[in-house]
Amino acid sequence: MNIAGMGLVSARGRGVAALEQALEQGWVPPGEVEVKGLASGRLPVYAVSAETLSDKVVLAKARRADRFTRMAVLAASDALQDSGLGASVDKSRLGIIVATALGPHATTFSFLDGILDFGDAAVSPTAFSHSVHNAAASYIAMTLEARGPTLTVTHFHFAFHQALEIARSWLDQGRCDAVLVGTVDELGSVLHHVCGRMTKSAADGRITPFAFSATPETVPGEGRAFFLMTRDPDGAAYGCIKPVGGAVPDGGASLQLLDADGLAKDERAYRAAVIPGMPVAGYAPLFGGLLTGSAFEVAVAALMLKKQRRYACPVRDNPHSISLLSEPLTAPLSAVVCIKLDCSGRAASILLGRSAS
Amino acid sequence: MAVEKVLITGMGVVSAAGMNVAETLAGFSSGTRNISQTTPSLSPLDYPVFHVSAPLGDPGRFSSRTVHLTFHALDEALADAGLSQDLSGLRVGVCMGTTVASQLNDMDFYTAYRKTGQPPMEPVTGFLKSNLAEAVAFRVKANGPCVTVVNACSSSADAIGVALGWIRNGQCDLVIAGGGDELSRIPICGFSSLSVFSHEPCRPYDRDRQGLNLGEGAGIVILEPESAARRRGSRASLFVGGYDAACDAHHLTAPRPDGSGLEAAIRGSLAEAGIQTQEVGFVNAHGTATRDNDKVEGGVLARVFGTGIKVLSTKGFTGHTLGAAGALEAAFTALALREGWIPASAGFENQDEEIPIGAVRERTTVSARYAVSTSLAFGGNNASLVIGREP
């Protein structure tokens, strides 16, 4: 299936141009938030700015929505806009799939605040209706007037991979002409606390994807990456995505991206997952650690294929002397594989090709 | 080339209507409604609920009640299909629907966070181990695609639709599909705030309906391509013929007044099944008993199938089980085709003049080979499943 358009919202801004700028600029230090209950009292994070979410035109129908949904609506709308297919897509055959690990938890906790502060009989119906995982998909559908199937799926490691395969299934079955598929996960005060206690914070603010550490360090991130997928060979602005595999392919790609973001308790398995002889890159240091961060790696890979440009790794600590992509390079690039491992070392890979499928 | 049938080779259900298929059918036949009231340990709000009161089986390492309910139904479905609990030798997919189990909404954890800033982390680690599909996959050692659908009230109907796609695409030899949800303080508060609860047992499609009751439960179907199922000796006669879904793109909590999204989903599912509307013997409607849902849904069913279509809502026996509803109702639909009867639609007495169809008032014989189960969700998603029976 082909990638016709992309939309992104991250700490580095909104849209494909912001992604490209971040890749050219490289690593920048994260921000910091105050965190209740942590000994340090602070946590480095890559958070999406309020300014990034301030588009009153696109968000007109989502003006009551929370940050989780606003990020989703912007990225999905941008993906459709970026494809240039907005006017030609039959909205009754436009599907939406949202993948998330944790859903709109900040709104869930806001709803719990209502219970604790005002009692069970006096909670906000708005907070409740926005706390369901599929509120974001609903707002995307309303904003884009998309009348095809909408689906929200969750998985703690491979939500995006599963969503991509469902999108492929919908296209293959003729259920949809085009599918907007993407991820969203957000930070919030409780998640800051949970991350502070359950992960090891990178003191210098740098995620090191190639350390393959038994005790990896991370900087939590948030954001959204959306893709407009089609079967139309003319809609392959960013190339295509081959069937998602459980095993790491041993051929076909000339660059591998590792989604090692420090969220796992142990990242040593990534060392064994590296395909020998193939250059390695990883971009989690730009966006932070997200359970659905694979979507950002795929966005980088797609942009590389479109631009025929390899972007240098933003953090290049390389204690294992692997073949790291340390300098930018403009040269032919036909395929890129993105590799993700879960906590038990199971792998999932996404192979992107330059030509239409 | 003809599309291979996707058989339902095993079913498991648990709800207030019964702890298994046999109990549920007995309850449907007698018209028993096992309704109780919320207890203080569940919620300080006083509403009727459909609670599963009998003990559940051993959940292993999982603490979530939704997982317990789901494992209970899973064990029955595996036994019904003649399968062991170790499916590691097959390409097995797991697609489950839920709502409550997808949220980190532990009140004790959050209360401690607010008060002390140092909450115990066990609720978080427990939550991170309890993604419903991942839990089911862990229990049966499944190694195929695995995902939890969180589409509010259509979650598990959509999960069956996703599973159907996996089998038709050749990704799996077998898929465990369904859903589960527990009664919880959070949705009780939420639905109460939306003023959609009834203070009496719910009356789907009735003129005097006042709203819904919440319930809990789980429903599981085992889906297999016909050729593979027959090779291992299955004599299953029920199948999922078609599925479709469409979004209202209208409102976060209210259905589109013209019902066009639901109509598109139903017509799409019939087309996928390759059947005409007159081949459908009955519809197991979403039928929540809210004013809006039943009015919109009833209008669509009359428009698609005609006013003579037999309609029931099994929510009169189970309450609204949210993420479990679609799978439970798909299983009930399949059972009705197999047994040749549908129960009286519990709570229905008087037809609403605003709805061109009514629900069945008595146990009714059905001889058709096909039936439809509909699901409407928060967020505007509509799902329709066509269930079939071989002659």
Listed by number, the residues of chain A in 232-261 with a beta carbon closer than 8 Å to a beta carbon of chain B are 246
Q: How many CB atoms lie within 10 A of CB B294?
A: 27
With CB atoms and an 8 Å threshold, state whether A108 touches B252: no
Mutation target for A interface from B247, B250, B290: give the one with most A CBs within 10 A.
B247
Chain-centroid distance, C-alpha B220: 9
Residue with tokens 């940050």: A67
- CA–CA separation, A345 and A272 (whole Å): 10
Angle between helix B21-30 and helix B325-339 axes, rounded to 10 deg: 70
Q: Is A40 on the interface with B (CB under 8 A)?
A: no
Non-local (6+) Cβ contacts of B160 within 8 A are B95, B177, B178, B221, B223, B240, B243, B326, B327, B330, B385
Return the CATH architecture of domain B6-389.
Answer: 3-Layer(aba) Sandwich (3.40)
Q: Is B61 on the interface with A (CB under 8 A)?
A: no
Contact yes or no for B45 and A121 at CB 8 A: yes
Q: Which of A42, A130, A147 to mutate to test the interface with B (most CBs of B within 10 A)?
A: A147
Is A120's CB within 8 Å of B380's CB? no
Give the pLDDT confidence score for residue B2 in this predicted structure.
Answer: 65
- The rounded radius of gyration (Å) of the Cα atoms in chain B is 20
Q: Is the Cβ–Cβ distance between B12 and B73 less than 8 Å? A: yes
Q: Which two tokens stand for residue A52?
A: 């990034």
Reported as a single tens digit per residue, the pLDDT across B120-148 is: 999 999 999 889 999 999 999 999 999 99
Helices (H) and strands (E) in chain B, counts: 12, 15
- Quick one: pLDDT band at residue B340, thresholds 50, 70, 90? very high
The pLDDT of residue B324: 98
Tokens of A72: 């989703």
Q: How confident is the model at residue B266 (pLDDT cuts 50, 70, 90)?
A: very high
Report the pLDDT value the prediction gives residue A45, as an integer from 0 to 100. Answer: 98
If contacts are CB pairs under 8 Å, which of residues 89-118 in chain A contact chain B? 91-92, 96, 100, 102-103, 105, 108-109, 111-116
> Which of B45, B121, B247 has the CB atom closest to A141's CB atom?
B247
Chain B CB contacts of A61 under 8 Å are none
ipTM of the modeled complex: 0.97
Residue B163 has pLDDT above 80, yes or no: yes
Tell me the mean pLDDT in the region A10-25: 98
Tell me which DSSP letter residue A261 carries: -
What is the 3-state composition of chain A as percent helix, strand, coil, each rounded to the nearest 5?
A: 35, 25, 45
Token pair belonging to A324: 């790291």
User: Do B147 and A131 count as a contact with CB atoms less than 8 A apart?
Assistant: no
Rounded to an integer, the average pLDDT of B366-381 is: 96
What domains appear along chain A, each with residue ranges and CATH number? 2-353 (3.40.47.10)
pLDDT digits (tens, 9 = 90+) for A151-191: 999 999 899 999 999 999 999 999 999 999 999 999 999 99
Contact B165 A150 (CB under 8 A): no
Residues of A in contact with B45 (CB under 8 A): 120-121
Structural element, H or E, at residue A8: strand A2-10
Give CA–CA dist B19/B246, Å, rounded.
33
Nearest chain B alpha carbon to A174: B272
What the block records as the tokens of A20 is 């490209």
Number of H helices, E strands in chain A: 10, 17
Domain ranges of chain B: 6-389
The 3-state DSSP class for residue A333 equals: coil
- With beta carbons under 8 A apart, name residues in chain A contacting B151: 134, 137, 150-152
Q: Is the pLDDT of residue A71 over 90?
A: yes
Question: How far apart (Å, rounded) are the C-alpha atoms in residues B51 and B137?
Answer: 26
Distance CA A141, CA A134 (A): 11
Residue B45 touches chain A, beta carbons under 8 Å:
yes
